[in-house]
């Protein structure tokens, strides 16, 4: 058993919140730079240049990349030989979020009850997905999620007979309906298989994979490439104002499913596809 | 084409704006998003006055992140306009000049824009740091308890925006995917 103090977790989470909201990963910066070079529309190019400038300003002046600094989503891989001491792991993550969002001048966008709608004023609670893994460390993947794109996400319970064509249709439908609302150019996370909730979690997880990296499954890699081309042919373009860059990547994750089902979840993220990964 | 405008302005002064124009906005605008719209509607339903003079005013659908010391405001990009669609025709009919946001509008809003010779601008979603730099002052003028959703009076300088829906109802989002 390796001991991990909650104080270390709090500090780590706090830093991740601030970092992810001011600095995008190299993969996203690279994808944006590439898009600015290849975009066909003049207006589209102008918008992509704004987004490049925006990233510079965000990092230099420490102004969040987007005012919607998101709901704090975590994927946490807990090594089965790690022992958290000094407190409660979930509370430590929430305390890190509380400090990160307060000390980092991040927007508090979370309300305690979906119907009563009163702001918790510290952006807690976080949405946390735990996974128990071998080892004695804890790995945190933080992906703050803005709701412009989250609201445009969809889940479809397709029939096995719909097959891969049905999957393509579902993804294209979700992206078309999202259009300008999801702040394109977007990253499209797709979860195929599992159950209703598993597909949704897979689609969110897919967004945390580097946009430079394809699925290791050859048929899924092909599907990612085909869907990216088809999405970019929709013409939605940067900010939805027309152009050849609607998405920068389609990331698909799959899981075993039931003989009767073909769940497909489409979790859309804007170009501010933030994530930060740390291990303690 | 590129244009420079100062708000508020009369509808007549803005009559040449066309869908697709790239516009640098200076002057005074107001922020309001979901919760503030709900309250404004409740005020109207009760026969009360709105907390701002709506005539020719432009509402920016935006809830900023907190300002650091020495800055008027934090990150300040647009939020999705469609969530305000339920309230917008009413405000347009009361003389509101127009809106700044991002994303699709309902057929009812499109009709109200045409009927009132209004205009709907988009700023670039996810460019909140850049847009923050165009805001020179920010003051909460109503519903302070709503935090980021309070109504703010902003002074802006050369805020880059694009005309999406013009007074004739031409819609750049529709044109883009045709």
pLDDT of residue B176: 85
Helix, strand counts (H, E) of chain B: 5, 7
Chain A positions touching B80 (Cβ under 8 A) are 148, 151, 181
Number of domains composing chain B: 1
**Cβ(A172)–Cβ(A231) under 8 Å?**
yes
For A235, nearest residue in chain B (alpha carbons) = B177
pLDDT tens readout for residues A27-53: 999 999 999 999 999 999 999 999 999
Q: Are residues A183 and A203 located together in one domain of the fold?
A: yes
Nearest to A119 among B64, B130, B147 (CB): B147
Report the alpha-carbon distance of residue B77 to residue B6 in Å, rounded: 19
Q: Are residues A9 and A138 located together in one domain of the fold?
A: yes
Q: Are residues A129 and A175 located together in one domain of the fold?
A: no
Chain A positions touching B152 (Cβ under 8 A) are none
Q: Are residues A140 and A155 located together in one domain of the fold?
A: no
Chain A positions touching B132 (Cβ under 8 A) are 57, 63
Is the pLDDT assigned to residue B58 strictly greater than 80? yes
Alpha carbon of A270: minimum distance to chain B alpha carbons (Å): 8
* Confidence (pTM): 0.95
Report the alpha-carbon distance of residue A222 to residue A31 in Å, rounded: 19
Q: Are residues A164 and A245 located together in one domain of the fold?
A: yes
Report the alpha-carbon distance of residue A126 to residue A120 in Å, rounded: 11
Q: Are residues A244 and A209 located together in one domain of the fold?
A: yes
Q: Are residues A221 and A121 located together in one domain of the fold?
A: no
Is A27 within the bounds of a domain? no
Domain of B10 in residue numbering reads as 2-138+147-176
Q: Are residues A154 and A133 located together in one domain of the fold?
A: no
Is A257 within the bounds of a domain? yes
Report the alpha-carbon distance of residue B152 to residue A134 in Å, rounded: 51
Share of chain B above pLDDT 90, in %: 97
Is A54 within the bounds of a domain? no
Chain A positions touching B82 (Cβ under 8 A) are 181
pLDDT tens readout for residues A135-168: 999 999 999 999 999 999 999 999 999 999 999 9
Is A165 within the bounds of a domain? yes
Report the alpha-carbon distance of residue B71 to residue B65 in Å, rounded: 11
Number of domains composing chain A: 2
A115 Rama sector, left if φ>0, alpha if ψ -120 to 50, beta otherwise: alpha
Q: Could you give the ipTM of this predicted complex?
A: 0.94
* CATH assignment of the domain containing B51: 3.20.130.10
pLDDT confidence band for B177 (50 / 70 / 90): confident
Q: Are residues A266 and A136 located together in one domain of the fold?
A: no
Q: Are residues A118 and A216 located together in one domain of the fold?
A: no
Interface check for A66 against chain B (CB to CB < 8 A): the answer is yes
Contacts of A222 (CB under 8 A, 6+ apart): none
Structure tokens at A55: 């990233």
Nearest to A239 among B76, B79, B122 (CB): B122
Is the pLDDT assigned to residue B1 strictly greater than 80? no
Tell which wins on pLDDT, B156 or B177.
B156
Report the alpha-carbon distance of residue B25 to residue B19 in Å, rounded: 15
pLDDT of residue A58: 98
In order along its 280 residues, chain A shows pLDDT tens digits of: 899 999 999 999 999 999 999 999 999 999 999 999 999 999 999 999 999 999 999 999 999 999 999 999 999 999 999 999 999 999 999 999 999 999 999 999 999 999 999 999 999 999 999 999 999 999 999 999 999 999 999 999 999 999 999 999 999 999 999 999 999 999 999 999 999 999 999 999 999 999 999 999 999 999 999 999 999 999 999 999 999 999 999 999 999 999 999 999 999 999 999 999 999 9
Chain A positions touching B76 (Cβ under 8 A) are 67
Domain of A232 in residue numbering reads as 147-273
Alpha carbon of B18: minimum distance to chain A alpha carbons (Å): 14
**φ and ψ of A6, to 5 deg:** -60, -30
Angle A89-103/A6-22 helices, nearest 10 degrees?
A: 40
Interface check for A43 against chain B (CB to CB < 8 A): the answer is yes
Alpha carbon of B128: minimum distance to chain A alpha carbons (Å): 5
Alpha-helical (H) ranges within chain A are 6-22, 26-38, 42-61, 89-103, 147-150, 163-178, 196-207, 218-232
**Cβ(B71)–Cβ(A64) under 8 Å?**
no
pLDDT of residue B178: 79
**How many residues are there in chain A?**
280
Does A64 sit within 8 Å of B62, measured CB to CB?
A: no
> How many CB pairs below 8 Å do chains A and B form together?
149
Q: What is the mean pLDDT of residues B58-85?
A: 97
pLDDT tens readout for residues B74-131: 999 999 999 999 999 999 999 999 999 999 999 999 999 999 999 999 999 999 999 9
Is A192 within the bounds of a domain? yes
Q: Are residues A163 and A226 located together in one domain of the fold?
A: yes
Q: Which among A144, A176, A204 is the end of a domain? A: A144
Q: Are residues A219 and A129 located together in one domain of the fold?
A: no
């Amino acid at each position: 058993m390796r001991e991990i103090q909650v104080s270390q977790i709090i500090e780590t989470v706090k830093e991740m919140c601030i970092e992810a909201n001011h600095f995008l990963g190299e993969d996203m910066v690279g994808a944006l730079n590439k898009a600015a070079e290849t975009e066909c529309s003049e207006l589209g190019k102008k918008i992509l240049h704004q987004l490049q400038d925006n990233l510079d300003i965000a990092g230099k002046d420490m102004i969040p990349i987007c005012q919607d600094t998101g709901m704090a989503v975590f994927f946490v891989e807990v090594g089965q030989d790690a022992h958290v001491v000094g407190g409660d792991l979930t509370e430590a993550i929430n305390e890190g979020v509380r400090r990160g969002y307060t000390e980092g001048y991040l927007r508090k966008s979370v309300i305690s009850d979906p119907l009563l709608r009163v702001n918790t004023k510290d952006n807690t609670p976080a949405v946390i997905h735990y996974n128990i893994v071998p080892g004695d460390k804890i790995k945190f993947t933080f992906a703050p999620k803005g709701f412009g794109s989250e609201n445009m996400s969809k889940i479809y319970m397709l029939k096995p007979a719909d097959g891969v064509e049905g999957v393509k249709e579902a993804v294209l439908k979700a992206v078309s309906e999202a259009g300008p609302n999801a702040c394109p150019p977007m990253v499209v996370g797709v979860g195929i298989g599992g159950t209703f909730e598993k597909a949704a979690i897979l689609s969110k997880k897919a967004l945390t994979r580097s946009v430079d990296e394809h699925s290791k499954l050859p048929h899924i890699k092909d599907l990612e490439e085909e869907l990216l081309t088809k999405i970019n042919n929709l013409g939605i373009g940067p900010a939805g104002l027309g152009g050849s860059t609607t998405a920068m990547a389609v990331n698909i994750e799959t899981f075993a499913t039931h003989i009767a089902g073909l769940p497909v979840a489409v979790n859309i993220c804007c170009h501010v596809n933030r994530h930060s990964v740390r291990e303690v | 084409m590129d244009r420079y405008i100062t708000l508020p302005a009369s509808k007549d002064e803005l009559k040449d704006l066309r869908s697709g124009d790239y516009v640098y906005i200076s002057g005074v605008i107001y922020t309001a998003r979901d919760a503030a719209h709900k309250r404004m509607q409740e005020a109207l339903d009760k026969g009360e006055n709105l907390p701002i003079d709506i005539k020719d005013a432009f509402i920016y659908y935006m809830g900023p992140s907190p300002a650091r010391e020495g800055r008027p405001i934090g990150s300040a990009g647009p939020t999705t306009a469609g969530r305000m669609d339920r309230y917008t025709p009413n405000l347009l009919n009361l003389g509101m000049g127009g809106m700044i946001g991002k994303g699709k509008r309902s057929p009812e809003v499109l009709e109200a824009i045409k009927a009132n010779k209004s205009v709907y601008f988009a700023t670039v979603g996810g460019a909140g740091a850049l847009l923050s730099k165009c805001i020179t002052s920010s003051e909460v003028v109503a519903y302070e308890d709503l935090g980021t959703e309070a109504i703010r009076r902003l002074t802006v300088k050369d805020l880059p925006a694009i005309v999406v829906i013009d007074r004739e109802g031409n819609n750049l989002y529709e044109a883009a995917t045709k």
